[in-house]
Structure 1
Amino acid sequence: MQVRTYQQSGVDLDRAQALIRAIAPLASQTYNESVLQGVGGFFGAYAMPSGYKEPVLISCTDGVGTKLKLAKEARQLYNLGLDLVAMNVNDLICAFAKPLFFLDYFATSKLEPSQTLALIEGMAKGCKEAGCALIGGESAQMPGVYAPREFDLAGFCVGVAEKSDLNKKDNIQAGDILVGFKSSGLHSNGFSLVREILKSKPKSAPSLDTLLTPTKLYTPLLALKDKIHALAHITGGGLRGNLERVLPPTLSAQIELKALPDMPVFSWLKEHLELAECLKVFNMGVGMVAIAPCENLKVLEKAGGFYLGTLKSGAQEIIFLE
């Protein structure tokens, strides 16, 4: 067949336009008075909110990694949209920033409307829960780059913070405590390793529903920012890798392993991996850690937190105590 149209080469523009029309009402559910232009144009526009003394825009981007491979097998793409929003927003709030708006990038060989809409529906739900607007995105058809029915996605989030809040971690000192906030499960990290374990078809493997439990959003912690010196989102790299990102060079963090939540999915991982590897890769039941003055423990416990450890003087390192 002689190729004479874009559609014959594998790119269906009519389907893309129809998809944009279907996405618009989903996105509009997340809009607020600050949205000046949303999905459908060449750009999204959002008015800077008032009430800030020295507003600073905070941005982040993230994806969901190879969790999408399992999500496709389980046909749980809706939850994958939730994951995409949560992974970005949870990074954002480590700057004590209020999420303002979210954009996505979805690339595939050929647009499948039901597949894409399921993802967008999940993103819209996540945005509503996080209090941010879904104001734009891109759905790219790239046959030859992606195999049939394969896709990848990324998210982008912008928020606003007070400039002074960016320096809150300068207040961290010896004697401060680590307060953990429970994860909903694996969140969206370590799935390349999880999939390798699953290849051996272990009899005790958790269900796909358990493995694909959506990432928890921690936006309620913004209301407690005056009680917290720093937040660390526990993603790839585990507790050690992510706490080091906020820990001053003159302090060490001592984490009590007995304080980690007892969750079946992590017990299963410990059956197949050394504990050190689990701690290096997974959140082990702790999705967010707050560093706070010890006198604020009760307030943070009321918000769902639990004592995880303490900070001591010494070289910057993370110590796990049995």
Structure 2
Amino acid sequence: MSMFQFEGFQRGARLAGRMLVLALALSSNPVFAQSPQIAPFAPGDTGVGVATAPASLTLGAQFSGDRKPIRSGLVWRVLSETADGSPPRIVARSTDAQPVFMLEPGTYLLHAAYGFASGTKRITLGLQGLRDQISISAGGLSLAGSIGDNPIAANQLNFSVFVPLQGNSEGRLVVSNAKAGELIRLPEGTYHVVSTYGDSNAIQRADVKVESGKVTDATLHHRAARVTLKLVASPGGEAFAGTAFSVLTPGGDVIREAIGAFPQVVLAEGDYVLIARQEGQVHSRDFKVETGLDRDIEVLSR
């Protein structure tokens, strides 16, 4: 071995020895004893935080009474709480009975609306996902009207639903302009229902109870009839066109006004005065409305 080869060998041996000492020193330091965990790099990652994969949140709702699942009529909202104390913001919505949301792990506020009833719940979503339920104390109300045993056509009825307050049955209006046969979803409780047949004074009222998980069918029985108003020259004669009619109570209160040859009016059972005005002439007669007896009310022009 030449002198140059021997000196190169000595320098290599000394460098290898120093590397071995450094490796032993690092391995003995507890900070470096474990292999470092390297977070995967995601596109767009700035290095400030580590991106978290979304987790699945599967939701359902049930009636609080019998625990039966609610299979329709739900509106879901998922809200995320903010760190600065500002109002929660909606991050997801759904109208499915059992929605599945993909969200970042964290704390959320759930809101499930079932018509005029609702339920809320705070949940914590972890990496493993979550299935959860909300209980809603609610039921359904279906309304109808009749004259005796004869049902009234749905397009002739209008319903309003109130929450009674102490000393006032019509304390707070909950539903207006509801139609017959429509399913009204309400919180469990007692309600005051007002049914209007036609567009004058044929009105009926009733208190109904809505139970959780059940549909309450309520029929309000009206005492009224439909009358056709006519101004004629002789009984059974042709009606004069353009006649202005006023229907009054015996005390003079105006119940209904109409213009035409033979307008139709629904009136509650009782006594009335009919006034007909045509070409400057005024004619009148008294008449009576009997429940279920639809008929013509004629005023003679002479």
Q: For the superposition of Structure 1 and Structure 2, which TM-score range results when normalised by the shorter chain?
A: under 0.3
TM-score, with structure 2 as normaliser: 0.23
Q: Which has the higher strand share?
A: 2
TM-score, with structure 1 as normaliser: 0.22
Q: Which has the higher helix share?
A: 1
| Larger CA Rg, structure 1 vs 2 | 2
